[in-house]
């Protein structure tokens, strides 16, 4: 029988080896996590959620403001209502697509990062894997350019609402200082092209405009459009991170495939 001292030393050695093995396994797993893709996915989900959720409610509030204050005739804004309804359906599609696309990009990030870290052996050099990575690189670039356009488009209602709000602030300052009357200060939304020029009344002046700015619909729509624009900007940043991550992973996979090809001869 072994002495108690030797038995204790062997047990301690086995425990230390097990701990070392678990530690190395954890380090290896952490090394395969695509941190850039993970951050981009969280940012993309957050940005798309803000853009789609806030944009949907803000569009509904905009229609309500136009119907109540700027276009009392239903036929004048019938086309605009149909366009906004179509945009709301498009928002549903964008939310669904990017929820799925974000998950796929995260999975692709896990695959390519693990392949670069050589966690799957020869699987990293398959032509199918490189083709899929290249496809995602191209698709992400296209979506990034498209979201730049979405970001610019989402800034248009923010600009329009800001002009209306700033005009109301001018009217308030005139009334506070009693320097002049604000009755002649007007906002004509027909100049933005969202309703036709024959829409009645088409514009609001003085106290009427100030009352519009004090309504809950205007306040909520204005701030929701700002948040939606910020969400679109966050999505653009997320896609830029995706671009860099997928391009880097694809380049490394391409380099490793050539390296493996050369070492076979």
Mind listing the pLDDT tens digit of every residue in the chain (265 residues)?
445 444 444 445 555 555 555 656 655 555 556 677 788 888 988 999 999 999 988 988 888 888 888 888 877 777 888 888 888 888 888 888 888 888 888 877 777 766 555 544 444 455 666 677 778 788 888 988 999 999 999 999 999 999 999 988 888 887 776 666 667 788 888 888 888 888 878 888 888 888 888 888 899 999 999 999 999 999 999 999 888 887 877 777 776 666 554 454 4
117 located within any domain: yes
Q: Provide the token pair at 145.
A: 């350019």
| 50 to 94, 201, 237, 242: CA distances (angstroms) | 12, 33, 14, 19
185 located within any domain: no
For the chain, the average pLDDT equals 77
Helix residue spans in 117-263 (DSSP H): 127-177, 206-213, 216-263
DSSP H or E segment with residue 33: none
Distance CA 78, CA 51 (A): 25
Q: What is the pLDDT of residues 55-90, one digit of tens each?
A: 988 988 888 888 888 888 877 777 888 888 888 888
248 located within any domain: yes
The residue among 33, 13, 39 whose CA lies nearest residue 244 is 39
pLDDT given for residue 235 in this prediction: 92
24 located within any domain: no
Maximum Cα–Cα distance for the chain, whole Å? 107
72 located within any domain: yes
Angle, alpha carbons 213-160-169 (nearest 5°): 40
175 located within any domain: no
Residue 90 lies in domain: 35-154+223-263
Q: Provide the token pair at 159.
A: 């600009």
62 located within any domain: yes
Question: How many domains is the chain built from?
Answer: 1
183 located within any domain: no
DSSP character at residue 71: B
Whether 234 and 46 have beta carbons less than 8 Å apart is answered as yes
Q: Provide the token pair at 95.
A: 């939310």
């Amino acid at each position: 029988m072994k002495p108690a001292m030797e038995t204790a030393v062997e047990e301690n050695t086995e425990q230390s080896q097990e701990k070392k093995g678990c530690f190395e396994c954890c380090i290896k797993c952490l090394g395969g996590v695509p941190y850039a893709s993970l951050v981009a996915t969280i940012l993309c989900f957050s940005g798309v959620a803000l853009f789609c959720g806030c944009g949907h409610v803000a569009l509904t509030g905009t229609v309500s403001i136009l119907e109540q204050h700027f276009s009392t005739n239903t036929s004048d804004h019938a086309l605009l209502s149909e366009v906004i309804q179509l945009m709301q359906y498009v928002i549903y599609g964008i939310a669904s697509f990017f929820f799925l696309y974000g998950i796929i990009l995260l999975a692709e990030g896990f695959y390519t990062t693990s392949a670069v870290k050589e966690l799957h052996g020869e699987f990293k050099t398959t032509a199918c894997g490189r083709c899929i990575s290249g496809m995602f690189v191209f698709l992400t670039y296209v979506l990034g350019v498209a979201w730049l356009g979405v970001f610019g488009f989402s800034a248009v209602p923010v600009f329009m609402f800001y002009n209306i709000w700033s005009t109301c602030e001018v009217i308030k300052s005139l009334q506070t200082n009693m320097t002049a009357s604000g009755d002649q200060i007007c906002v004509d939304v027909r100049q933005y092209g969202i309703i036709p020029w024959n829409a009645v009344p088409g514009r609001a002046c003085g106290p009427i405009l100030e009352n519009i700015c004090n309504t809950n619909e205007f306040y909520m729509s204005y701030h929701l459009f700002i948040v939606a624009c910020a969400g679109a900007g966050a999505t653009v940043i997320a896609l830029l991170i995706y671009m860099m991550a997928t391009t880097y992973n694809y380049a490394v996979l391409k380099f490793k495939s050539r390296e493996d090809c050369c070492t076979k001869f």
